[in-house]
Amino acid sequence: MLTSIDRLLLVRRVPIFKELRDDFLVRLASIMNEVTFPAGKTIFAEGQEGRSLYIIVTGRVRVHLGDKDLAILDKGSCFGEMSLFDAEPRSASVTAIVSCDCLVLTQQQLYEAIDETPGVAVNIIRLLSRRIRSQNVQLNELQQAVNNFSRQT
């Protein structure tokens, strides 16, 4: 079980929370539940309804579509944030690679935090934008590779 200080230090390093005041982060971190997932456990599956964001305390997870890995995340990373906002089913599955401890923030807790400190929403938008840009770069590189291959054959 994490101490209040440990929670603060961990949450402060998460990109969507890093620019927020410590007094706010202490309150936010204190309401998050701690959950443990054993190695190989699916934390959530593509298509499931989601209303929680997860922050990895220890361990490592894979974000994947079937057998295709989209990302490997470890301590201090967060995942699951998209479903907090759009109420759409999960767009990918997340599975613990090794035993994994996470802090969990529910949609209701996050909305209350945003009401109190709108900067949380701006930070989440930045995080999502970075992820979209990264995916766009990967798609562009893949398209260029396909085009180059087509020209060579």
The b-or-e profile of 91-110 (16+ CB within 10 A means b, else e) is ebbbbbeeebbbbebeeebb
Report pLDDT digits (tens) over 44-79.
Answer: 999 999 889 999 999 999 999 999 999 999 998 999
> The tokens of 18 are what?
């890093």
Question: Which pTM value belongs to this model?
Answer: 0.78
CA 85, CA 122: separation in Å to the nearest integer?
13
- Here the CATH number for the domain that contains residue 71 is 2.60.120.10
What percent of the chain is predicted at pLDDT more than 90?
44
Q: How many domains does the chain have?
A: 1
β pairing state of 100-106 and 42-44? unpaired
The model's confidence at residue 128, banded by pLDDT at 50, 70 and 90, is: confident
pLDDT at position 38: 98
CA distances from 29 to 8, 9, 16, 39 (A): 6, 10, 13, 25
Lowest mean pLDDT among 4-13, 19-28, 47-56, 103-112: 19-28
Q: Return the DSSP state at 32.
A: P
The model's confidence at residue 150, banded by pLDDT at 50, 70 and 90, is: confident
Domain boundaries, position 94: 4-152
